[in-house]
Amino acid sequence: MSLFRKKDLAAMLAQAEEGEKGLKRTLGAGNLIALGVGAIIGAGLFVRTAAAAGQAAGPAVTISFIVAAIGCAFAGLCYAEFAAMIPISGSAYAYSYVTMGETVAWIIGWALIMEYALGAATVSIAWSEYLNKLLGGRIPYEWSHSPFESFTDTLGVTHTGFMNAPALIILLLLTLLLIKGTQESAIVNGIIVFIKVAIVIIFIVLGWQFINPANHTPYLIPADQAPVIDAGGKVIADYSGVFKHGWGGVLGGAAIVFFAFIGFDAVSTAAQEAKNPKRDMPIGILGSLVVCTILYILFGHVLTGVANWKDFVDPLKGREASVAYAISTYMTGYGWLATAVTVAILAGFSSVILVMLMGQSRVFYSMANDGLLPKVFSDLHPKYRTPYKSNWILFVFVGAFAAFVPGNVAGDLTSFGTLFAFVLVSLGIWILRRKSPDMERPFKTPLVPLVPILGALICLAMIFALDAQTLKVAAVWMALGLVVYFIYGKKHSKLNN
């Protein structure tokens, strides 16, 4: 049979209206915006901002946010059209199944594992870092870092990680909440979103008066910037690459902070649980994207103004828990804010992990319903009607990554998975407009094909700006996915019947 056999749209919509057998429709537009903001504002803002400034963009991380936001805006418009037109769980996987066929749908579904599952792992690692900061570093390095991480302290002693235990604990607690129910998860998420957005705004307002203009000069990292070396003689930052300084560094920074925008597309995975998806999905997707982009630019400007971007390279200074470091070091008299920020960040990270785990389980739910994954991923809890078995399997997989893989590795792979999904969703809108121009579209992406093409090109550019090691690992992961498809998915696909 054809590798590009397509699923019938009418069949997909019928599947979405399964009634009492399917997922509960409990989410309104406000819930969806909160889910988006809950997923977007988290590790990307509080961790990846400093990482992008210290590794590639310097103070120009604000421009990196703008570049990433433009790519997200084009992709977000395409997501909004798809989500309103095809209101079922599965996100980019489901859209690709209709427009580009089963093989492409499988590839994107497999790539989404890198976005949602590894995204949850990355944020849980950041959660662990901030918890340790809040506790004054009482958690031993060995029990809060991966076995592949080490650093040499000022006494010349080298510490090597064993397992990230706090990351594993938060994943377990949130998995239990997700199994309890979507509405309960949305209520908890809404409370957390209010708290962390308030803290972000407070930091921007209070931090503005502590901006040192000298920290923004030069705005771009110069080409002759010397590498940064730790106490043990190890190079921890090298700026010789084309995407490590100047305008190339801005694009490299955009690829890093792109992780910060993951979330608005997670809204689309909840389409089958939205009360009025045709109206509410575009509001949830685009609304959360606009709110967060504005906050990101202001936040990046203040953070790199309060503390010098070089501080975010040194693990003994601001590389971990960068916001708390900037406040406690440079904002005299606001020590209480550093503690408040850390508590809010911990809560905020929790909401990100929650939405990422929910998004991944919904993608698995759709793939299992199509026969491409074993039925266990679509089994619903008899009382709560949540994909509880999928949640437990995810906990094991995500927990293994969070406990034993460094956060920067998982984070860059997450960016690849997201960018890849955005490319295919953008192209999918153009394809469906050509093949089915008369199909009902409650929300229409403007300026087609210009918007989809620009969205795909910008996201492709950011993929190539990722480091070579990340691209190699991603290629291996995608090749493994094709092997799984040809061994299991293709044979068990319901389109075979």
pLDDT digits (tens, 9 = 90+) for 254-271: 888 876 777 677 777 666
Instruction: Please tell me the predicted confidence (pLDDT) of residue 89.
Output: 67
C-alpha torsion sign, points 293, 416, 199, 328: negative
pLDDT band at 183 (very low <50, low <70, confident <90, very high): low
Within 215-276, residue ranges assigned H as helices are: 246-257
Instruction: Please tell me the predicted confidence (pLDDT) of residue 19.
Output: 46
Show me where the domains of the chain are located. 32-496
Are the beta carbons of 55 and 244 closer than 8 angstroms?
A: yes
Q: What is d(CA 1, CA 19) in angstroms, rounded to the nearest whole number?
A: 32
Hey, what amino acid is at 248?
G
Of 100-109, 204-213, 474-483, least confident by mean pLDDT is: 100-109
- How distant is the alpha carbon of residue 320 from its chain centre? 19
User: Cα–Cα–Cα angle for 264, 258, 342, nearest 5°?
Assistant: 80
Task: Give the number of other CB atoms < 10 A from CB of residue 347.
Answer: 18
Paired tokens of 403: 């406990």
Rounded mean pLDDT, 417-435: 86
Paired tokens of 316: 């003994």
pLDDT band at 321 (very low <50, low <70, confident <90, very high): low
Strand 150-152 relative to strand 235-237: parallel, antiparallel, unpaired?
unpaired
Task: Give the number of other CB atoms < 10 A from CB of residue 152.
Answer: 16
Backbone angles phi, psi at 93, to 5 degrees: -60, -50
- Beta-carbon contacts of 138 under 8 Å, excluding residues fewer than 6 positions away, are 132
Q: Domain 32-496, CATH 1.20.1740.10 — does that match?
A: yes
- Give 10's Cβ-side CA count (13 Å radius): 1
Which DSSP symbol is given to 312? G
**At 139, is the secondary structure helix, strand, or coil?**
coil
Task: Give the number of other CB atoms < 10 A from CB of residue 41.
Answer: 29
Task: Give the number of other CB atoms < 10 A from CB of residue 315.
Answer: 14
Q: pTM for the whole thing?
A: 0.74
First to last CA, the chain: 11
Kindly provide the b/e burial profile for residues 423-452, where b requires at least 16 CB atoms within 10 angstroms of the residue's own CB. Answer: bbbbbbbbbbbeeeeeeebbbebeebbebb
Of 140-144, 180-184, 344-348, least confident by mean pLDDT is: 180-184
